[in-house]
Amino acid sequence: MHVLAIAIAAAALLGILFRPFRINIAWWATGGALLLVVTGALSPDDAGSALARGLNVYLFLIGMMALAEFARREDVFTWAASVVLVAAHGSRRRLLVLIYGVGILTTAFLSNDATIVVLTPAVLDAVRRTDADPVPYVVACALVANAASLILPIANPSNLIFFAGKMPSLETWFASFAAASLASIVLTYVVLTWRLRGVLAVPLHVEGEHPAVPRPAALVMLGLGAIVLVVTAAVSGPLGAVVCGLALAATVVAATRERTAPLRIVRGIAWSVVPLTAGLFVLVDALERAGAESAGRQLFAWGEHAGGPLAALGVALATAAASNLVNNLPVGLAAGHAATTLHPPAALVSAALVGVNVGPNFSTNGSLATVLWLSILQRAGVAMSPWRFAAIGLVVTPPALIAAALLAR
């Protein structure tokens, strides 16, 4: 049964990675999970336990996607992108840094997926009113979504997956990741602007009208929501339940302007992300029960034996490489479980999360955020291939990843 479980889980993960026949990746995850149970490779009780471990994560994902859709429907990001366009004052470099700054805030308080699904389309709309190529600016959205995802626990669903919903306190988080997050954000921007220096030197010409300012009620709702989430993270509260409560409050605010807004928000949620994540919990659990978790155990055992900064760097590079091979969600889940059971030094655990969060910037396969980003660009008709992104990611990511791994505590 162990061989069968590994074969089914591996096939499902390959389907998620390569997406053959253009089948939604959620079907590969849920199909693999169901097949494990139907064939007896995993018992229904074990599958149920694996699903239950992800409850806080599912709630967090649903709530964050609802808040992001609320912000989109209220034109918050369309307005923000327009303000940034005006503030650039004809400078492509200034426009890039302002978009990057908005991306940091969006990632910090609404998660990296919101930066992709809400900010990226708004940036595309804004840049279309200029004579600039949109690629540098949407690439900045993709890179900052992962580079800034260590700034707060709520900045990336991978953080919740890694810690299985039991997040460390905000004080502990800052002690572990404040310097690493700053290094990741700054170095990603510095190297990106160096890589694009020729493109950014040309003056920017802007045309078109500015969109209307969003309602104050929407801005107040998002501001209060950000404060509540930070406070919840500070006291290690139930982030999933809280963010769902905030999403419910946001739908009420939206309904005061348009009676059908709540239904539209619900329809705007990318529901397939939830069964995808749930399926991954089952797939990884099956692999662990079949003994395939030994790679994570061996990685931490090696790091603990080697010791020193190079051990942390090695752990970060290994989890980054694995994330780009099979996506950071299963890697984060497996690495987090191994860390929970082995209790390696904190620096190695933090380095593993750096690899899971920052490492995916090497390729479009590395994280759910970049997978979503590539599909958004394809629908918008923007010429971007995985190879073109990798040509940028291979230059931009190493300094940020190395520095963050060495600074994580």
Q: What is the pLDDT of residues 71-120, one digit of tens each?
A: 888 888 888 888 888 888 889 999 999 999 999 999 998 889 889 988 99
pLDDT-derived band at 380, boundaries 50, 70, 90 = confident
Residue 1 has pLDDT above 80, yes or no: no
**Domain count for the chain:** 1
**Across 56-65, average pLDDT:** 88
The mean per-residue pLDDT over the stretch 222-247 comes to: 88
Give the pLDDT of residue 294. 66
Predicted local confidence at residue 181, as pLDDT: 97
Could you give the CA distance from residue 245 to residue 35 in angstroms, rounded to a whole number?
34
Q: Comparing 5-14, 42-51, 91-100, 257-266, which segment has the lowest mean pLDDT?
A: 5-14
Q: Evaluate if pTM is beyond 0.85.
A: yes
Q: Tell me the CA distances in angstroms from 155 to 56, 103, 151, 390, one per residue in order.
A: 15, 11, 7, 23
Looking at residue 268, its pLDDT comes to 86
Tell me the three state secondary structure of residue 194. Answer: helix
165 or 179: which leads in pLDDT: 179
- The CA distance from 266 to 337, in Å, is 32
The pLDDT assigned to 93 comes to: 94
For 38, how many CA atoms within 13 A lie in the half-sphere containing its CB?
Answer: 7
Q: What is the pLDDT of residue 120?
A: 92
The residue assigned the tokens 């074969």 is 7
Which pLDDT score is estimated for 165? Answer: 59
Give mean pLDDT, residues 20-49. 87
State yes or no: pLDDT of 155 exceeds 70. Answer: yes
When mean pLDDT is compared over 12-21, 157-166, 280-289, 393-402, the highest value belongs to: 393-402
Range of the domain at 19: 2-407
Name the one residue in this structure whose structure tokens are 């069964």: 275
Q: What is the pLDDT of residues 282-332, one digit of tens each?
A: 988 887 777 766 677 778 777 777 777 888 999 999 999 989 987 888 888
- Region of 291 please: left (phi>0), alpha (psi -120 to 50) or beta: left
The mean pLDDT of 386-409, rounded to a whole number, is 94
Residue 211: band (very low, low, confident or very high) from pLDDT cuts 50, 70, 90 = low
* Residue whose entry in the numeric block shows the structure tokens 């499902």: 12
Q: Which residue has the higher pLDDT, 210 or 12?
A: 12
Mean pLDDT, residues 159-183: 89
